[in-house]
Structure formats: C-alpha cells, structure tokens
Structure 1
Amino acid sequence: MTVRRSSFVARARTDGRDWLLEAEEPLATLQLRSGGELPGIIATPALLELVRKSRLYGLRLARPIRAQDDHEQVTAWVEISPDPEGEGCVIGVSNWQILPLQDSDGREASQRRNGIARQIAELSARLGPRQDLLSVESQSPELGAVVAKMREGLGRPWTEFVDLEGNSHEQPLHWRLLDGARLRIPGSVRHWKAHLIPLGAPEPGSTGFELYFVAEERDEEAFASVQGPAVEGPAPAFSAAMGGEIAPVLRQPIARIIANAETIRSQLAGPLAEEYSNYAADITSAGEHLLALIDDLTDLEVVEDEQFTTAPDHVDLSDLARRAAGILGMRARERGIRIDAPQKGEKVPAIGEFRRVLQILLNLIGNAIRYSPEGSVVWLRVETEGEIARIVVADQGEGLAEAQQARVFNKFERLGRSGDGGTGLGLYISRKLARAMGGELSVESAPGQGARFVLDLPADTPIAAD
C-alpha cells in the first residue's frame, strides 16, 4: 500500500491499547462528538476494528468506513499501517464526506459508546433501579478480590466497593453523575472508568442498569502471560481444570466474539446487508450458548465438590422473585410473555445464600420463558408453610409426563429437546444448590397443563424468648 500523505485530509496516531493519542481535524472532532476523549480509546467502532486488526496482525489496511457522531454521518477512506516507531498504528484519512444526521437526541452516539464499553470492559454487572448489585462477572485475575466482595454484597450499591476519584458526596449518586466517573479498585494498580447503561422506558434506569468497568491502562501481566512459557507437568483432569483454568481462558475470547458480532448485527459500524446481519445474530446466539455451557460446567464442578457449602443468610423470597423477574423481564416481553411476580410489600423470609437462590430462580424463570407459548403468563407465588418458605414458578407450557418428571433433574437431561440453547445442567445444578441450603427443588406437572417448579427453603422464623 502506497501512503500518499499529501492527499490526506487528516492524520492520526494510536498506541498499543488502540487509544487515539493525537489526531488532526476533522477526525479529532469526530472522536470527541462520538463520546470519546483525546487521548482515549477510539470511539468510532469501524475505525477501532481496522486499527485493532492492523496492530494485531501487522497489516497495512485501506478501507472505506462509515461512521456518525451526534450531528453528522461521515464516510471516508482510511489507510492504516503499523507505527514503525511505536506499538500502535498510523492513520491517514482522505475523501471525507459528511451528511446531516436526523438524530437530535443523540441515541446513535449513545449506542456506539455502549457498544464500545461492552466490548472492552473487564468487569460487567447488572444493577437494580437503586444501583444495587444483582450480579457481577469478570475474568480478570486482577479484579478477583473486588468481584468476590461484590458477590458477597449483592443487594448493596456498587459504589461501596470502589473509590470514586475526586468525589466526597454521599453515595449513591445519580447515575448520570457516575457514568464516566474515574475510580480506583482495591487490589488494582490501574485507573478505571465506570460506564452505566440505563434500562427501562420512559424513565431511564427504572428497571435497572448495566455497569461496566473499563481500564485506562493495559493489563501488562495478562498481556505478558499470553506470550509466556507453557506450564510444564501433567495436564489436570478436565473436571478440576474447568473452573480454575479452562473457563477463564475460554470466556474472554468468546465474550469478544459475542461483542463483535453484536456490533455487526446492530450495524454500529455502518449499514449491512440483511443476510450478514442475520449471520452475526447467529454468531451471537452460538457464542451465548457456549458461555452458558462454560458457566454450567463451572457450576457443576463446584456443586459436585465434596467440600461445597453455601453461605446461609436472611433472605426474602418475594424480593428475590421480583429481582429475577426484573432481570428476565425484557426476554419475556420479546416473546410476549408476562411475568406475574409477588407484589411489593409481600415478604416471605427464608434462610439461604442470596446469589444461589437468585441463580436458581433465574434458571427456573428462564426455562419457563423458553418453553411457554407466546402470549402466556409465568406466575411466581410465595408462601410460608410451617418451617418451610416456598416459591413456585408456574408456566403454561406443554407440561411434563410422569416419566419426564422423574428424569428432568438428571445431569445433561434435555428431554429430547435440541437447538433451544439449553445445556441440560441447569435443573441438576439448581437442585444441588437447593439441597446444599437445606431445601428441596421439585416439580408438579401434567401433559398440556404446564409445569410448577417448587423451591422449598428453611423459613426464617424468629426464635421465641425463654
């Protein structure tokens, strides 16, 4: 590729993190109006993808790109080559053309920022409407300590687990003040930024938030380990290696595949023929299935360990049911299914581990949504019966015959289903978890009459005074 520097309308330079270190106009303005910073990670997905390929594979690339900020749609020709004097790339831009964009409220720019955050984040979490933690995931060993504390503190505001730089106000702050906030994470030497994506309409955040932690510096130890020497010695058994060694290695590349496919599917990098958008959707679905399988195999290793125990606590089954319904509400609405959850003010105290009970409910409700007909209802009912606290997840699906009920909790049991994204481990793991908490998971069903999955736990009854 011949670099015709005199024909470029703008030049730019990146580093080994794919940060735009310097850029000439109009590329600099596009970076800032797309929600990025200078210096900062490239905020145009199409350009970010090309720069990353050029850097990783040492290629010189020339491509047309289409991008847009919150004011204009831009088409341009870019030429990218690895920087001979650094770890990044040199960018040349020509044939810059702009058209007005009919997006006065900046939705497209916001979607692009969200897509970038999902792709490069090293920690992701799901929050409730009060920014309380519902779940948290990270494959970064550097963040292992804070992830463990967050999981122990589910139900508390996420801001309790990090240090917000330059902020002494009472927590939690309004989410708009926290979106983009710089923070320090205990146990990490790097600087981080929080990225909050509000869920719900018409009031953003009314059904919760997605939270992402994006590092401002590269993880040098992780980068070095990719090229490090192979570990000598005998290979560990598959079951013992799944959670500790194989799962972390697999999760990150699969998550990247899903993020890239979702960026393509949603056409954040520019218009795309419908068949290619459908291919990207298939890739996303397959990647999510692989991640689900990895998670289930990891949980399988945990629950089958002879030393496995849960951390009993005081929980409210009604509150957990509402949380689970909120997390899966969008999936249900996409299929026209309504989740009928317990009303606010209804309480059923129980003894169990918060995140494990939530895990069971997410599995049961997810199955009910998957196997129920469009336009049906999934009911969540709670009650206390003596020393038992109970929650029932009932659906209007096809139901289970007596022989199927006897097998439904078996390991890898699919009951003849295929292609539905399940792994055949969810109910087996859920029953193991229920029994580890001193409870039970059972099913009541009949063909054509739906299914009722019943989770029983020890009731949290006050101890009578002598």
Structure 2
Amino acid sequence: MNAATTSYLARARTDADDCLIEADEPLAGLQLRCGGTLPGKIAIPELLALVRKTRKYGLRLARMVHAIDGDELIKAWVEISPHAEGAVTGADSAGQGGCTIHLANWQTSPLPGDDQELAASRQLEIDRAIAELTSRLDPRQHVLTVESTAPDLAELVQRMRSGMGRPWTDFVVFPGNSHEQPMHWRLLDGAECIIEGSERKWKAVLVPLGQPEAGSAGFELYLVAQTPFIAGTGPRLARGEPVLGNSLGSELSPVLRQPIARIIANAETIRSKLAGPLAQEYSDYAADIASAGQHLLALIDDLSDLEVVESAGFSTAPDRIDVADVAQRAAGILGVRAQERGIELILPTLDAPLGAIAEFRRVLQVLLNLVGNAIRYSPQGSRVRIECAKIGSTVHITVADEGAGLSPDQQIAVFEKFERLGRSGDGGSGLGLYISRRIARAMGGDLTVESSPGEGARFTLEIPGEIPGAE
C-alpha cells in the first residue's frame, strides 16, 4: 500500500519542527479544536508523538491514533512518511526535514462513561487521603476511637475522647438540619458540617463495615476539609498535648500533608476526567503527578508513624475484633490498585467470625502495608491470598504473594529500618515493615515472613486470640 495507489481521506504536511504546514479536513478542524493553529505545532498528542518518531528514525510508520474531540472519541488510521534530505524543492522547501501524513480512516464514537463503582472507589481513596480526622464508630454511630493531627480539630478530638460512646453527631453541627441525630448513615454521608474551634467547612464521609448488612460491624468516619488549613490561624495545642506531640515531625506533618493531599485530589480528578474530556497523554501526566504525591504522602505518614512507634510510651488500644472483617476492609481499600495491575485478591471464607484482641485501626494499618507490598512487588496477573486461622491462643493473618520471593538474608533484612532490598523508583520508604512489626509486638503479637527465592513470600501477622466466653 502506498500513496500512489491508495485513496486517502486527507493529507497533511509537517516541517522539521513538527508544525503542521497544511492539512485537509477533518484533520485541520481537529487541530484547531485541540487548541492548535494552522500552521502551528501539532496539538494532537498521539499524532505528535508518531510524527516525532518518524522524523527521528527516518522510517515510514502507520498506526491508529486516538484523540478526544469534545464528547467524542476519535480513532484515525494514519500513515506517516519522512521527507528525504533534498527531496523537497521549490515551493515545497518549507517541508524539508518534516513528514507527509496520509489519513486512511476516521471513526468517531461517544466517550465511554467511567464505571460508577470504580469512580466511587477512586473518590473514596481521595477522601481517605485528604481526611484530617478519622474515627471508628459502632453500628449505632457511637464513637469508639478518634485520631487527628489537624491543629484546628484539637478541641473536637478532646471532646470526642471525653465523650466516648456517644453519637459522633453530638460533636458537630449540621447547618439547616433540625432532624433528630444521628440520622441514617446514608443521609449523613457527604453532609456538610461545622466544627466548633475551626473556621473551615467540613464534609463527613461514612464508610459502612460488615456484611451482608451495611454498617452491621460499625463505620469508619472521615472528616474532609473543604479548604486547606492556613498556618497561624485557629487555636494551637499547648506544648506536650498528645494529639499533636511536640516533635518536629509531628509539627510538620499536618502542614505538609494537606497541600500534598490537595495536589493528589486535583490530579486524580484530572486523571479520571471527572472535570471533562482530556487527551489521554495529559491524563497520564496527571496520573504521574498523583502517584508522586501519594508516594510523598506515604513517606510523611511513615515518618510520623515511626515517631509514634519508637516513642517510650507507645501502646495500642486492644478491643475485640473480627479479623476476617479487617481483611475484607483492607482488600476493599486496595481493590482498585490490584485491579489496575490485574492482580486477583483471594479473601478468607470463614463461616463464623474469627475473634481477636487487638486495636482495629492498627491491625488494618499492618494489613494495608502487607497487601500493598504484595500488590506492588507481585507480577502482573498473579494472585495475592489473605488467609486467617486460629492457632492455639493466637490468630494468624497471612498475606501470600506469587512474587520473586526472598533469600534467608533478605528475610532478616526486610524488617530493618529504611531497608528496601536494593529496590529503587517504587516510592517506598523502607519503613513499612519495620513499623508494622513494632505495632504487632506492641499488641502482644509478632510479624514474621516465610519465603524462598522464586516462590513468593508469606507474611504472617500474629495477634492474641479472643478467649471464648471472656467478658
């Protein structure tokens, strides 16, 4: 097939700077609608990349390119030929060093809508990332635990900790709402609220726990600010206050966390095209920005956690938990990440709850680290299995992957501080497993690994089991 014998829809020419010198319709119109000019730099990202390759390597290339035109997806088959040196003369000399583009096919279709469940999962991940208060609630929405590092939420944290066992709605104000509280969780999820001591507006995010009835095992509550905290405004805690601590890391964490989380949220909005159609190349750029922000935020969280677990008075708040429910929650949080890598998460199938005595939030934190590592370091298309069992007086939660495995020396080193086993570019801090083992031992358990090179790894969290009939 060549230009002399093939009937083409349109033809275009570029120069040595990858500018469109001339173009027929419909390519000319798309160039203008993508923000370009004619003549001017190619404004269609995939076409620009293909022209650059053709010019750089001097090869004739043909393939399908994609572009977004308003609310339509364009698919076009293009054939691009480089201009040979000295082949263009006279009136065509402006095209020397450029390319000739032949358009052989042009298809339009409506932009595919984002899967609603996937979009909801992404939004929940964003809310979790930027939440400035986290609380665990029982099935009646009564407060069980509360954590926050936001300076202007210090008073709220103190009130909630003093009022454990009361509905969380007793501690906030819902403007214009006179209904008896707490209302059904679906009506409160996403509700705007006002908090005494904070000048910012807040949104409540409620995540139901338990199956099959949503909320049967309680709720996770996240308070998300609608505006970032500005240093120097609002009340500050007295030195020595345990909510924030008095170390440099604890002071910097809330200051850095909020702007980074906002960057992640905005990048995710761009990546998922929630704000409108966008060329795939720029969506990929936004994904890179979000990924880099998440890595930085994870590092900040790790450094903050490191400070906590290495403090002399570090302890956990043991409670009766169902480890299968915690495993389900961890898999739900990381399900989108596993899906993106084509990794299947296999969850425990227990006929009855498997009780343990440990702090729910800390067990979830350890499992998120173990499952997240398994997803990150496992080959695409493999499986990650979560298993739960009671052995003697302890409960074991094992995360098994099908990755490269660890040598005996690596199995020892992997729990050391800042140890990443020579990995680079994956965004890890080398603190996750060190922190997780410290947490496990603080709960009266341990974190161990079994592995062989080429046979994957099995990380097992051991925690005290619930004693039958104990009150």
TM-score grouping bracket, smaller chain normalisation: 0.5 to 0.7
In structure 2, what is the equivalent of residue 77 of structure 1? none
Pair 1:389 & 2:395 matched: yes
Amino acid across the alignment from 1:444: E
Counterparts of 1:251 and 1:399, CA distance in 2: 34
Cα drift, residue 386 of structure 1: 1.5
Cα drift, residue 189 of structure 1: 5.4
In structure 2, what is the equivalent of residue 22 of structure 1? none
Counterparts of 1:439 and 1:126, CA distance in 2: 24
1:181 aligns with one of 165, 186, 191:
191
Pair 1:194 & 2:203 matched: yes
Counterparts of 1:288 and 1:156, CA distance in 2: 34
Counterparts of 2:448 and 2:170, CA distance in 1: 37
Q: What are the equivalent positions in structure 2 for 1:128-277 lying under 5 Å apart?
A: 140-146=150-156, 159=169, 162-165=172-175, 166-169=177-180, 171-173=182-184, 175=186, 177-179=187-189, 181-185=191-195, 187-188=196-197, 190=199, 192=201, 194=203, 213-214=224-225, 223=230, 225=232, 241-277=247-283
Amino acid across the alignment from 2:179: S
In structure 1, what is the equivalent of residue 385 of structure 2? 379
Counterparts of 1:308 and 1:127, CA distance in 2: 20
In structure 2, what is the equivalent of residue 405 of structure 1? 411
Contact kept in structure 2, 1:296 and 1:426, CA below 8 Å: yes
Could you tell me which runs of 5 or more consecutive residues in structure 2 were left unpaired when the two chains were aligned: 1-68, 72-109, 209-213, 235-244
Higher mean Cα deviation, 421-430 or 142-151?
Answer: 142-151
What are the Cα deviations for residues 18-67 of structure 1, in whole angstroms up to 9, with x where unaligned? Answer: xxxxxxxxxxxxxxxxxxxxxxxxxxxxxxxxxxxxxxxxxxxxxxxx99
Higher mean Cα deviation, 417-426 or 130-139?
Answer: 130-139
- Provide the secondary structure at the position in 2 that maps to 1:168: coil
Summarize the Cα distance change of 1:269–1:255 in structure 2 as closer, same or farther, 3 Å threshold: same
In structure 2, what is the equivalent of residue 24 of structure 1? none
TM-score for the superposition, normalised by structure 1: 0.60
Higher mean Cα deviation, 242-251 or 296-305?
Answer: 242-251
Cα drift, residue 412 of structure 1: 0.7
In structure 2, what is the equivalent of residue 313 of structure 1? 319
Counterparts of 1:405 and 1:153, CA distance in 2: 44
- Provide the secondary structure at the position in 2 that maps to 1:438: coil
Counterparts of 1:193 and 1:168, CA distance in 2: 19
Higher mean Cα deviation, 117-126 or 287-296?
Answer: 117-126
**Percent of aligned pairs sharing the same letter:** 52
In structure 1, what is the equivalent of residue 431 of structure 2? 425
Pair 1:434 & 2:445 matched: no
Contact kept in structure 1, 2:387 and 2:399, CA below 8 Å: yes
Contact kept in structure 1, 2:399 and 2:458, CA below 8 Å: yes
Counterparts of 1:453 and 1:194, CA distance in 2: 37
Counterparts of 2:331 and 2:128, CA distance in 1: 26
2:461 aligns with one of 455, 462, 466:
455
Cα drift, residue 370 of structure 1: 1.0
Counterparts of 1:246 and 1:447, CA distance in 2: 40
1:366 aligns with one of 339, 353, 372:
372
Cα drift, residue 188 of structure 1: 3.2
Amino acid across the alignment from 2:271: R
Counterparts of 2:163 and 2:454, CA distance in 1: 41
Summarize the Cα distance change of 1:387–1:452 in structure 2 as closer, same or farther, 3 Å threshold: same
Contact kept in structure 1, 2:193 and 2:204, CA below 8 Å: no
Amino acid across the alignment from 1:338: E
Contact kept in structure 2, 1:381 and 1:393, CA below 8 Å: yes
What are the Cα deviations for residues 368-401 of structure 1, in whole angstroms up to 9, with x where unaligned? Answer: 1111122222111111122111111111111111
Cα drift, residue 277 of structure 1: 2.9
Counterparts of 2:350 and 2:162, CA distance in 1: 24
Summarize the Cα distance change of 1:158–1:326 in structure 2 as closer, same or farther, 3 Å threshold: farther
Counterparts of 1:451 and 1:284, CA distance in 2: 29
Higher mean Cα deviation, 357-366 or 138-147?
Answer: 138-147
Contact kept in structure 2, 1:67 and 1:269, CA below 8 Å: no
Summarize the Cα distance change of 1:264–1:155 in structure 2 as closer, same or farther, 3 Å threshold: farther
Cα drift, residue 183 of structure 1: 3.0
Contact kept in structure 2, 1:122 and 1:140, CA below 8 Å: no
Counterparts of 1:327 and 1:170, CA distance in 2: 28
Pair 1:352 & 2:358 matched: yes
Counterparts of 2:416 and 2:249, CA distance in 1: 21
Summarize the Cα distance change of 1:248–1:194 in structure 2 as closer, same or farther, 3 Å threshold: closer
Higher-Rg member (1/2): 2
Contact kept in structure 2, 1:242 and 1:301, CA below 8 Å: no
Amino acid across the alignment from 2:295: H
Counterparts of 2:167 and 2:345, CA distance in 1: 26
What are the Cα deviations for residues 202-241 of structure 1, in whole angstroms up to 9, with x where unaligned? Answer: xxx99x99955445xx78xx547179xxxxxxxxxxx973
Counterparts of 2:276 and 2:469, CA distance in 1: 63
What are the Cα deviations for residues 275-328 of structure 1, in whole angstroms up to 9, with x where unaligned? Answer: 333222222111111100000011111111112111222222222111111111
Summarize the Cα distance change of 1:268–1:326 in structure 2 as closer, same or farther, 3 Å threshold: closer
Counterparts of 1:358 and 1:195, CA distance in 2: 21
In structure 2, what is the equivalent of residue 298 of structure 1? 304
Amino acid across the alignment from 1:251: R
Cα drift, residue 351 of structure 1: 1.6
Contact kept in structure 1, 2:386 and 2:400, CA below 8 Å: yes
In structure 1, what is the equivalent of residue 422 of structure 2? 416
Contact kept in structure 2, 1:196 and 1:212, CA below 8 Å: yes
In structure 2, what is the equivalent of residue 328 of structure 1? 334
Contact kept in structure 1, 2:374 and 2:401, CA below 8 Å: yes
- Provide the secondary structure at the position in 2 that maps to 1:255: helix
Contact kept in structure 2, 1:119 and 1:256, CA below 8 Å: no
Amino acid across the alignment from 1:333: Q
Counterparts of 2:259 and 2:427, CA distance in 1: 19
Summarize the Cα distance change of 1:394–1:104 in structure 2 as closer, same or farther, 3 Å threshold: closer
Contact kept in structure 2, 1:265 and 1:281, CA below 8 Å: yes
